[in-house]
Chain A
Amino acid sequence: MNSNPKPLMHLKNNQSARIKHIHGGLGLRKRLNSLGIREGQIVKLVSKQPLMGPLTISVGNTQMTIGRGMAHKILVEEI
């Protein structure tokens, strides 16, 4: 069932996945870390706004909205 890591934004609504890798500079990683988005955590896609709009995801009991660019840099693995 293990597939290759893919960007977070390719998940479907309500689909969960494990974060494998975060591409990006220290600044981005730190910001994501501070809200609990880290390698190994389970992330769920809550909703996508249309027309390249942002994504809302949840990790643990935290929900947040992030831009598509950021979502491209978070690689996940389906579980």
Chain B
Amino acid sequence: MIKKIVLMGNPNVGKSVVFSRLTGAKVISSNYPGTTVDFSKGKMHLDGQTVEIIDAPGTYSLDATNKAENVAVEMLEDADVVINVLDSTNLERNLYLTLELLEKDIPAIIVLNLWDEAKHLGIKIDEKKLEEILNVPVVTTVALTGEGIRNLVAKIKKAKTNEKIKPTSEEGRWVEIGQIIKRIEHVEHRHHNIKDRLSDLTIKPITGLPIAITIIFISFWIIRLIGETLISYIFDPLFENIYRPIITNFGDMLGQGFLYNFLISQSPGEINFVESLGMLTTGLYVPIAMVLPYIIAFYFFLSLLEDTGYLPRLATLLDNIFHKLGMHGYGIVPVFLGLGCNVPGMLATRAFETRKQRFIAATLISISIPCAAQTSLVFAMFSDDKIQSSLEFDPIIYILMVFSSLIIIYFVSGFILNRFIKGESPEIFLEIPPYRRPSIKTTWKKTWMRIKWFLKDALPWMFFGVFLINILYTTGAIDFLANLFQPIMSVIFGLPGETSVVLISGFLRKDLAVGTLLSFPSGTFNAMQLVIVATMLTMFFPCIATFAVMIKELGIKDMIKAALIMISAATIVGFFLRLILLGV
């Protein structure tokens, strides 16, 4: 009886899409290495039985040359059936893993995915003959549209161990593949199509760099547009028109006292969602109405960008620069992911080959990549009415000051770390997948998963953080801390002592920290001081979730090193920004 099915195949063959078609589960599938190192598990129904189905990490062979491949090979051991997914447009290369799998004693079924793309490319494959040669069932699919999936499900029971393929050497397999290809594949000559031209344009330096700059610029513009639109047309009206009357009534019911202060607001009078620091006001408003819209916008756009296959091209263009920072072009991928949330950014550093690269990539993310939650609040901070009246320039100028500081810090720190961290920085070796039209459905599924993850992760911490700050306020500890750190803050950074409270709450969540910053009476910070605090907040220390992942990825010893680097970098930069911006 079939209990466990394992899906195996090379990276970028659409294996995860086949998986989500089979299970209906929400799975992340991407065009670059790194995200599918963590495998997905799901369930499907087969003749009234529930069968476990596992999406193994993409692997080129069973030699297990890296962590991900090791995992894949281990999964194979207790599989009842293996579904081998192949990219029909790259049959020759994909067949290597197939032969290795067929040499094992596991019932198998072969899936020729991306069948439509192969047809477009003028590749004709005789799947019947392939079935004959390999002696196991072969099905063709277009997983993106679901074509052929029903047929695959019907044939799972017919999976069998082959009797024709005998174990051989690496050379032997390639010879065998050569013979198979000759018998079943016919490639017609074809002309360069639009996709090829686009691919060439985006990877050649002369055209590629301007296109890259344009894409990045447009991305941020669109993300901001989507985010702002969501805020002003959905989330703000929701809170102002529906939630405000409810919570005001509830507040009246509570009357004045500890519970009111704790749940609704520290100060009597009209509720201010940002500054009141109540669990049910600020604790809900900041994550949901201020941060979530940007999270939705950012992840929707990032998923689109990922699925088209653009990032590996960007990695190629930027390889040179990233080499100066001790990494290679792949380094742009963790940066992009880190701009959403630092945690997936940290996880993506795994795909680097050496410890040196991983250490530099992870440290740089924690030093100078603000997550979407923090970014959205930096935007909100300088657009706040209360602060805007005291601004000398347009808010965007201050926002640019923060981000250009962080960009400079990324490069300078990387350059320095590359000098002093021992170890190898191997060259780039990256597959460039063809451009694929992203499916809105998959993109939305992925965005939805990340939104759920954000809410699950953000809300408890925000509650906890608001709760803590509430206590600090009620007990007067805030004034105590502010006074305690006053000398350090003002002597080194020219900042008020309250900064220490902001930096401490940044350890829980960065968005909470900016929220804390906004809760101080107006006039506590001037605009330039806000720029310094926002920059230092990014650099000083990662939030607790990122911190935990960093310990896991780097180990305690390297984490301590990274933390020392962060704190000293933040101190030095804070001091210089003070000299430049405050002029004293």
Interface residues of A (CB under 8 A from B): 13, 27, 30-31, 33-36, 38, 46-47, 49-54, 56, 60-70
Q: Is B316 an interface residue (CB 8 A)?
A: yes
Given contacts A61-B89, A61-B121, contact A68 B427 (CB under 8 A): yes
Q: Is B431 an interface residue (CB 8 A)?
A: yes
Residues of chain B within 8 A of A47, CB atoms compared: 200, 203-205
Tell me the bound Cα distance from A70 to B429 in angstroms: 9
Q: Pick the contact of A65: B60, B90, B199, B319 (CB < 8 A).
A: B319
Residues of chain A within 8 A of B316, CB atoms compared: 49, 54, 56, 65
State whether B60 touches A35 (Cβ < 8 A). Answer: yes
State whether A60 touches B429 (Cβ < 8 A). Answer: no
Closest B residue to A53 by beta carbon equals B320
Residues of chain A within 8 A of B63, CB atoms compared: 30
Q: Is B414 an interface residue (CB 8 A)?
A: no
Tell me the bound Cα distance from A64 to B92 in angstroms: 16
State whether A65 touches B200 (Cβ < 8 A). Answer: no
State whether B429 touches A65 (Cβ < 8 A). Answer: yes
Given contacts A50-B205, A67-B428, A70-B427, contact A36 B93 (CB under 8 A): yes
- 360-413 of chain B: CB within 8 A of chain A: none
Residues of chain A within 8 A of B61, CB atoms compared: 30, 34
Closest B residue to A50 by beta carbon equals B205
Q: Pick the contact of B199: A33, A53, A63 (CB < 8 A).
A: A63
State whether A51 touches B320 (Cβ < 8 A). Answer: yes
14 A-B pairs, CB-CB below 8 angstroms?
A36-B90, A36-B93, A47-B200, A49-B320, A54-B427, A54-B428, A60-B92, A61-B434, A63-B434, A64-B430, A65-B429, A67-B426, A67-B429, A70-B427
Q: Is B193 an interface residue (CB 8 A)?
A: no
Residues of chain B within 8 A of A30, CB atoms compared: 61, 63, 65
Least CB distance from B14 to A in Å reads: 14
Q: Pick the contact of A35: B65, B93, B200, B203 (CB < 8 A).
A: B93
What band does the interface of chain B fall in when counting residues whose beta carbon is under 8 Å from A?
A: 35 or more
State whether A64 touches B431 (Cβ < 8 A). Answer: yes
Given contacts A49-B319, A52-B320, contact A62 B93 (CB under 8 A): yes
Residues of chain B within 8 A of A63, CB atoms compared: 199, 431-434
Closest B residue to A41 by beta carbon equals B92
State whether A56 touches B429 (Cβ < 8 A). Answer: no
Given contacts A54-B427, A70-B427, contact A64 B204 (CB under 8 A): no
Tell me the bound Cα distance from A56 to B313 in angstroms: 10
Q: Is B328 an interface residue (CB 8 A)?
A: yes
Residues of chain B within 8 A of A54, CB atoms compared: 316, 319-320, 328-329, 427-428
Q: Is B96 an interface residue (CB 8 A)?
A: yes
State whether B320 touches A66 (Cβ < 8 A). Answer: no
Residues of chain A within 8 A of B174, CB atoms compared: 33, 38
Interface string of B406-424 (1 = CB under 8 A from A): 0000000000000000000
State whether A60 touches B431 (Cβ < 8 A). Answer: no
Tell me the bound Cα distance from A69 to B428 in angstroms: 10
Interface centre among A38, A46, A61, A68 (most CB of B within 10 A): A61
Residues of chain B within 8 A of A35, CB atoms compared: 60, 93, 431
State whether B432 touches A65 (Cβ < 8 A). Answer: yes
State whether B60 touches A34 (Cβ < 8 A). Answer: yes
Interface residues of B (CB under 8 A from A): 60-61, 63, 65, 89-90, 92-93, 96, 121, 123, 170, 174, 199-200, 203-205, 312, 315-317, 319-320, 328-329, 426-434
Least CB distance from A56 to B in Å reads: 5
State whether A67 touches B320 (Cβ < 8 A). Answer: no
Closest B residue to A39 by beta carbon equals B174
Least CB distance from A63 to B in Å reads: 4
State whether A64 touches B429 (Cβ < 8 A). Answer: yes
Tell me the bound Cα distance from A36 to B60 in angstroms: 10
Tell me the bound Cα distance from A62 to B89 in angstroms: 9
State whether B432 touches A56 (Cβ < 8 A). Answer: yes
Tell me the bound Cα distance from A47 to B432 in angstroms: 12
Closest A residue to B207 by beta carbon equals A47
Least CB distance from A2 to B in Å reads: 23
Closest B residue to A58 by beta carbon equals B432
Closest B residue to A70 by beta carbon equals B427
Least CB distance from B418 to A in Å reads: 16
State whether B429 touches A53 (Cβ < 8 A). Answer: no
Least CB distance from A21 to B in Å reads: 15
State whether A53 touches B319 (Cβ < 8 A). Answer: yes
Residues of chain B within 8 A of A64, CB atoms compared: 429-432
Tell me the bound Cα distance from A62 to B10 in angstroms: 12
Interface centre among A13, A27, A53 (most CB of B within 10 A): A53
Least CB distance from B174 to A in Å reads: 7
State whether A56 touches B203 (Cβ < 8 A). Answer: yes
Tell me the bound Cα distance from A56 to B199 in angstroms: 11
Known contacts A36-B93, A47-B200, A63-B431; 10 further A-B pairs (Cβ under 8 A) = A30-B65, A31-B429, A47-B203, A49-B316, A49-B317, A61-B89, A61-B121, A63-B433, A64-B429, A65-B315
Least CB distance from A60 to B in Å reads: 6
Tell me the bound Cα distance from A63 to B60 in angstroms: 15
Give me the 9 closest cross-chain CB pairs, A-B, nearest first. A67-B427, A34-B60, A36-B93, A63-B432, A53-B320, A65-B316, A47-B204, A61-B89, A54-B319
